[in-house]
Chains A and B, each alone.
Chain A
Amino acid sequence: MAEFKKSGEAVADATPRTTGVDKVDAATETAAVAAVEKPAGRGEPILQVRNLVKHFPLTQGILFKKQVGAVKAVDGISFDLYQGETLGIVGESGCGKSTVAKLLMTLETATAGEVFFKGQDITKLSGRALKAVRRNIQMVFQDPYTSLNPRMTVGDIIGETFEIHPEVAPKGERRRKVQDLLDVVGLNPEYINRYPHQFSGGQRQRIGIARGLALNPEIIICDEPVSALDVSVQAQVINLMEKLQDEFNLSYLFIAHDLSIVRHISDRVGVMYLGKMAEIGTDEQIYDHPTHPYTQALLSAVPVPDPSAREGRERIILTGDVPSPANPPSGCRFRTRCWKAEAKCAEEVPLLAVPERFKGQDTPAAHESACHFAEEKDVVGAV
Chain B
Amino acid sequence: MTIIDTTADAPAPKGPADDGSGPLLDVRDLHVEFKTRDGIVKAVNGVNYNVSAGETLAVLGESGSGKSVTAQAIMGILDMPPGRIPQGEILFRGQDMLKMSYEERRKIRGRKIAMIFQDALSSLNPVLSVGYQLGEMFRVHQGLSKKDAKAKAIDLMDRVRIPAAKERVNDYPHMFSGGMRQRIMIAMALALEPDLIIADEPTTALDVTVQAQVMDLLAELQTEYNMGLILITHDLGVVADVADKIAVMYAGRIVETAPVHELYSRPAHPYTRGLLDSIPRLDQKGQELYAIKGLPPNLTRIPPGCAFNPRCPKAQDICRTDIPALVQVTERDGSALPGRGSACHFWKEQIHG
Contacts and interface: CB of A to CB of B under 8 A. Distances in A.
Nearest to A238: B289
Interface stretch (A7-15, A108-116, A228-236, A342-350): A228-236
Contact of B285 (A264, A298, A302, A320): A264
B234 to A, nearest CB: 6
Contacts of A307: 240-241, 260-261, 264
Given A202-B295, A235-B291, A239-B288, A287 B212 contact: no
Contacts, number: 141
A218 interface: no
Give the interface centre of B63, B209, B291, B296 by most chain A CB atoms within 10 Å: B209
A105 interface: no
A273 to B, nearest CB: 10
A320 B176 CA distance: 12
A368 to B, nearest CB: 20
A279 B280 CA distance: 22
A308 B265 contact: yes
Contact of B280 (A238, A257, A298, A320): A238
Contact of A306 (B62, B240, B288): B240
Nearest to A199: B295
Interface in B136-176: 163
B61 to A, nearest CB: 9
B288 A242 contact: yes
Given A230-B296, A235-B291, A309-B283, A298 B208 contact: yes
A326 interface: no
Given A302-B282, A321-B177, A232 B62 contact: yes
Contacts of A383: 283-284
Give the interface centre of A238, A257, A284, A306 by most chain B CB atoms within 10 Å: A306
A203 interface: yes
Contact of B208 (A92, A203, A309): A92
Contacts of B265: 308
A360 interface: no
Give the interface centre of A242, A257, A309 by most chain B CB atoms within 10 Å: A309
A238 B237 CA distance: 18
A236 B179 contact: no
B235 interface: yes
Interface stretch (A129-137, A150-158, A174-182, A310-318): A310-318
B275 A232 contact: yes
Interface in B247-266: 260-261, 264-265
B160 to A, nearest CB: 14
Interface in B275-301: 275-276, 278-286, 288-293, 295-296
Nearest to B250: A232
Contacts of B325: none
B292 A232 contact: yes
Nearest to A284: B285
Contacts of B215: 303
Contact of A260 (B274, B276, B280): B280
Interface residues of B, number: 48
B213 interface: yes
Contacts of A317: 209, 212-213, 216
Give the interface centre of A203, A298, A302 by most chain B CB atoms within 10 Å: A302
B278 A232 contact: yes
Given A317-B212, A318-B209, A232 B63 contact: no
A242 B288 CA distance: 9
A114 to B, nearest CB: 30
B58 to A, nearest CB: 11
Interface in B224-242: 234-241
B241 A303 contact: yes
Given A231-B279, A305-B264, A321-B177, A239 B291 contact: yes
A259 interface: yes
B236 A302 contact: no
A304 B212 contact: no
B180 interface: yes
Chain A, interface size category, equals: 35 or more
A299 interface: yes
Interface string B176-217: 011110000000000000000000000000011111110110
Contact of A301 (B211, B261, B264, B281): B211
A234 B237 contact: no
Contacts of B237: 260, 302-305
B235 A303 contact: yes
A239 B289 contact: yes
Contacts of A318: 209, 213
B199 to A, nearest CB: 15
A203 B291 contact: no
Given A257-B207, A301-B208, A301-B209, A382 B284 contact: yes
A297 interface: yes
Nearest to B265: A308
A239 B285 CA distance: 14
A319 B216 CA distance: 12
B240 A231 contact: no
Contact of B279 (A93, A257, A260): A260
Contacts of B293: 236
A45 B293 CA distance: 36
Contacts of A381: 283
A33 interface: no
Interface in A89-119: 92-93
B261 A257 contact: no
A219 B336 CA distance: 55
A261 interface: yes
A297 B209 contact: yes
A235 B289 contact: yes
A321 B282 contact: no
A264 B286 contact: yes
18 contacts: A92-B210, A231-B279, A232-B62, A235-B278, A235-B289, A236-B292, A238-B280, A263-B285, A297-B209, A301-B208, A301-B209, A304-B237, A309-B283, A310-B241, A315-B212, A317-B209, A320-B163, A380-B282
Interface of B: 62-63, 163, 177-180, 207-213, 215-216, 234-241, 260-261, 264-265, 274-276, 278-286, 288-293, 295-296
Considering the complex of A and B, which 6 residue pairs feature the smallest CB-CB distances, nearest first? A303-B237, A264-B280, A235-B278, A92-B207, A305-B236, A235-B291
Given A232-B62, A235-B290, A383-B284, 15 more contacts: A231-B279, A232-B291, A235-B278, A263-B282, A264-B280, A287-B282, A303-B212, A303-B235, A303-B237, A307-B241, A309-B240, A310-B240, A310-B241, A318-B209, A382-B284
